[in-house]
Structure 1
Amino acid sequence: MVVEGNIDHGSSSTPSNPVQETPSVKLLTFNTWGLKWLSKYRKQRLRAIADELSGRFTAVPIPGIEFVELGRRQSHFEQYDIVALQEVWCQEDWDYIVMRCGENYPYHRIFYSGIITGPGLAILSKIPIESTFLYRFPINGRPSAIHRGDWYVGKSIAITLLQPIGGNTCPLAIMNSHMHAPYALQGDAAYACHRACQAWDFAKLANLYKKAGYAVIVTGDLNSRPGSLHHRLLTDETGLVDSWEQLYGQQDLEALRKMKPAEQIMYGCTTCDSNLNTWRFHKRRDEACRLDYALVDPECMQPIAAGARFTERIPGIGSFSDHFAYTCTLKLLPRASSNIPRSIIFSQSRERLLQRYVNYEEMLQCLTQYVVTAKRQRFLRYTHFVLSLVVLLFSCVLAFMTNLAAIFWVLFTTVVCFTGTLDVLMAFMFGGKELRALREVELEVIGVQQYLQTQLDVRDKP
């Protein structure tokens, strides 16, 4: 049984004491920044994370911080029942984590998918794992963005179904993900449409597991700011609540930007781009944001505590990662056996349904704008291929008619052939696939929007 977020393996009960304490689980989600060759001090930091999770303290508090919660070393070993990790991309790092944490977390799994290494998703658990499933996002960046890598690692949702904790609570479905990163706030480099499509798929999967009777927890680095379209799709479409906002209310983001960095962490749980993080010290105060979440089903669990973790520093190195971790403690609520799964539309207020309608309009606009970009890119790749054929033919004629060095023409024609062939392959094999996937999402959104409109019309009738 889980009591107050920690699994009690040694407790026993007697017939004379039938009272059961309310079970709860403590979750930690952490983007570990484990890119091989690119992340600074990767091996040392990942090993320090494993050491901390296993109770071997290595870090020191942030110097000069007046807030007790950020400036002190925990007086006791803070244990978590479930640890969801992102960006664990090196096998040697995962092997070390398992070796160090195997005693505290006997159940663990890393997920493999994608062209290079995999999505970087892993889970450690004190609760037995019943089964796992990996869902790869069909819309996930472009293969031409080699320097960004999202397409090559295969961004996914790692779904872990855990053994039921008590006889009267719903089993847990942990949906851990690292959605496509934004490389700008606006424009094509923001990849806003890609994340919106990922959030749409995410919401549909979460609803399926909810209908199957699971207590769903959507967690990870969702690369979505509070109140963004992606964040709204994950909450409005599923009925899940943001565990931080459930405890502390929807926050004034403008006021948060003006706070001191330590206050931003305390009151806004800014896990990303805080200049208190040594790998983000160059960031402006107003760039700090919250990207790491635990979205939970309020019918099955209730958040009772939450906050940032791994804010300390490793001596001689710096912060544990370029993100801070996020933790929340969730009290599991008794299962309502009489509840019959219904469409979420029937359980939401008119105001919430109208908000969903606005979300659909914004989603369709986002899709329309990006489809123009996708078609233009495919056209340019086909054009490049045709021009490559023309240049290749012209260079062959020129080489035959002149006495220029043959090696120059060999190199030149090789480059022309390679780049032209690469572009036509991407245009044919990826460009069409992406456009069809975008069209599929568009039709899904239109279908749900039309159904929602009929339900609003029914409610409006006297």
Structure 2
Amino acid sequence: MEEELPTEISVLTLNCWGLKYISKLRRERLDEIGRQLAIADPQPHIVALQECFTQDDYRSIRRQTRFILPYGKFYHSAAFGGGLAILSRWPIEESTMFRYSLNGRPTAFWRGDWYVGKGVASAKIRYGPGPKHIVEVFNTHTHSPYEHGPKDSYVCHRTAQAWEMSKLLRGAAERGHLVLALGDFNMVPLSLQHRVITAHAPVRDSWRVLHPDSSLGPADLPAEKARRRPIPTAEFNLRENGAASDGPYNTWRWPKAQQKLLGPGKSELTVAPDTIDIRGKRLDYIFASTGDVSALGGGWVVRRINVGMTMRHPELGCSLSDHFAVEATLVFQPVPSSSSSPSPSSLSSGAGAVDPPHSEKETAAGGGDDIDTNNVAALHNGTYLQSPTASSFRGSSSGGASKTSLDGRDNAHIHTHTQQQQQLLALSKQPPPLLPSSSYDEMLAQIHFYVRRERSQRTWRGRHFFAWLAVTIGCLVAVWFSPHNYVSFILMLVSSLGLTAGTIDGLLSLLFFRSELQALKEYEWEIRNAKAAAAAGGGEPPVPVLEDGDDLDDREW
């Protein structure tokens, strides 16, 4: 018997903190993460993991979740891997690892972002037989900030990564698929990076859909201070603000002396729910779209979202990761269909055909009159604007629709349904909102600042190479006139070590910094082009986009 199409999809994202040789109690914690995923209620259908760097840890999680998540993909990237994995209840038809064009520096070895090749792990997951019964999942862990405020060395990287992510999401949405973007984005709500994703891709931040008044970051963030809200408690930050990172409930954020009180055989230390939480913030996100409403006969809306995986290891007493998980449930929301709609059998195949309604059982149940125009608009106006209510579903609490609803729809009902369908198609053609011009200017300012720094680094490292080359030649000449062997040895040692360091800097100047500047050129062109489009759409005169070879472009670069 063919499996019915799902009416709910539960998704989960978790940064596992699974760095080999660095993360404490890594194996024990990730093994318990797998066990908790296997017994989770509700059972997740799609799971995105970050910082799961070793295949041993991935296989351990797969073994424990194989009965509820039989499909999975571990993504390989750069020298040490991106630490990304996707698990699924349904088959993964395609997968791709997209590397970010701007991604740290090889000279920042102990930070490691460049060496793990951060990017976006994508998976095309099929949950039904129709052409549009596909979820495109994008899992990412963007560049870590390390510094904050004006001294943030990598803000340009994260903004560029958000921009690249938005392009991937927009492309998937244009294919008519349900789109999910999950992961640790290392950004706070309504930051520039956050706004780039939601403005340039038809997706919404699921948490803000149900908690539109949630915090904008930790309590000491200037934007959050400006709201003049009371400093939240630990419980409020979890329940209302979605602060899955840096909160007092997480034992890995405790002082070292307090962490030493945890362990096998030791009494459990609890945190009072009313503990003041100044640092807790939301870095982990679930962005989602609605899917092709006209093809599916409805769309996906968010019903539930919460912070999860807050339990501790049963023996070690520590939190399972330095982040908590974010869990969400999407539910399929049917839309009313007019009496002139094609039958499901006529929609199942053929060129230009669309999918039948998401569930024939839901279509047959009637109840379309319960969905008003606002609910229809909610499906497409920025994906989903509200969670479904009891009256939004097909059918009634009595288990079915009346005969009048099924067979005796009058002309007024048909006219209403036709208007709703027309509005639905009109909404589906609307482009996503664009950022204001000031946001593009901020992005361009980031680019220009980073360009100046990269050009300075390229010049300095190039000079370093030539300086050591000259020193090496001088040392080799001095060997001829050295009166003692030990002096010759010192000269050769200094010249060899110096030339090695200089050669590394020379290669960085020639290859890495040059390639970063090339990537920044592409990024700047796209931002200028988007700014021009936004200006034209807003009635302002369009800004000319500079091409390679233009005088102004040459002076800038």
Q: Do they superpose with TM above 0.5?
A: yes
Correspondence for 1:34 among 18, 21, 34: 18
Query: What one-letter code is carried by the residue in structure 1 that aligns with 2:205?
Result: D
1:243-254 equivalences in 2 (<5 Å): 243-253=206-216, 254=224
Correspondence for 1:379 among 442, 446, 459: 459
Per the alignment, residue 16 of structure 1 pairs with none
Question: How many Å apart are 1:458 and its aligned residue?
Answer: 7.9
Question: How many Å apart are 1:81 and its aligned residue?
Answer: 0.8
Question: How many Å apart are 1:33 and its aligned residue?
Answer: 0.7
Query: What one-letter code is carried by the residue in structure 1 that aligns with 2:509?
Result: A
Equivalent pairs counted in the alignment come to 418
1:436-455 equivalences in 2 (<5 Å): 436-455=518-537
Cα deviations by residue, 1:280-336 (Å, 9 ceiling, x for unpaired): 124994322101000111464211111111111113251101111100111134489
Tell me whether 1:49 sits opposite 2:33 in the alignment: yes
Structure 2 gaps of 5+ residues are 217-223, 257-275, 292-298, 338-353, 355-420, 543-557
> RMSD between aligned alpha carbons?
2.8
Per the alignment, residue 147 of structure 1 pairs with 110
Query: What one-letter code is carried by the residue in structure 2 that aligns with 1:431?
Result: F
TM-score (norm 1): 0.84
Query: What one-letter code is carried by the residue in structure 2 that aligns with 1:385?
Result: F
Q: After alignment, is 412-421 or 256-265 more displaced?
A: 256-265
Question: How many Å apart are 1:341 and its aligned residue?
Answer: 9.8
Structure 1 gaps of 5+ residues are 1-9, 14-19, 56-75
Per the alignment, residue 301 of structure 2 pairs with 302
Correspondence for 1:423 among 494, 505, 514: 505
Per the alignment, residue 79 of structure 1 pairs with 43
Cα distance in 2 for residues equivalent to 1:154 and 1:245: 30
Higher normalized contact order (CA 8 Å, seq sep 6+, divided by chain length)? 1
Correspondence for 1:289 among 281, 285, 288: 281
Indicate conservation of the 8 Å contact 2:38/2:64, yes or no. Answer: yes
Distance 1:260 1:357, change over 3 A: same
Highest Rg: 1 or 2? Answer: 2
Correspondence for 2:73 among 102, 105, 109: 109
Query: What one-letter code is carried by the residue in structure 1 that aligns with 2:206?
Result: S
Cα distance in 2 for residues equivalent to 1:377 and 1:128: 47
Question: How many Å apart are 1:77 and its aligned residue?
Answer: 4.2
Cα distance in 2 for residues equivalent to 1:235 and 1:286: 27
Question: How many Å apart are 1:411 and its aligned residue?
Answer: 2.2
Q: Secondary structure at the match of 1:319?
A: coil
Query: What one-letter code is carried by the residue in structure 1 that aligns with 2:76?
Result: Y
Q: Secondary structure at the match of 2:243?
A: coil
Indicate conservation of the 8 Å contact 1:210/1:216, yes or no. Answer: yes
Cα distance in 2 for residues equivalent to 1:394 and 1:107: 62
Correspondence for 1:262 among 229, 235, 242: 235
Indicate conservation of the 8 Å contact 2:182/2:285, yes or no. Answer: yes
Tell me whether 1:201 sits opposite 2:135 in the alignment: no
Cα distance in 1 for residues equivalent to 2:242 and 2:471: 56
Per the alignment, residue 4 of structure 1 pairs with none
Query: What one-letter code is carried by the residue in structure 2 that aligns with 1:267?
Result: E
Tell me whether 1:365 sits opposite 2:445 in the alignment: yes
Cα deviations by residue, 1:207-239 (Å, 9 ceiling, x for unpaired): 111111111111111111111111110101113
Indicate conservation of the 8 Å contact 2:62/2:72, yes or no. Answer: yes
Distance 1:458 1:188, change over 3 A: closer
Distance 1:12 1:379, change over 3 A: closer
Query: What one-letter code is carried by the residue in structure 1 that aligns with 2:450?
Result: Y
Identity of aligned residues (%): 32
Cα distance in 2 for residues equivalent to 1:448 and 1:12: 44
Per the alignment, residue 71 of structure 1 pairs with none
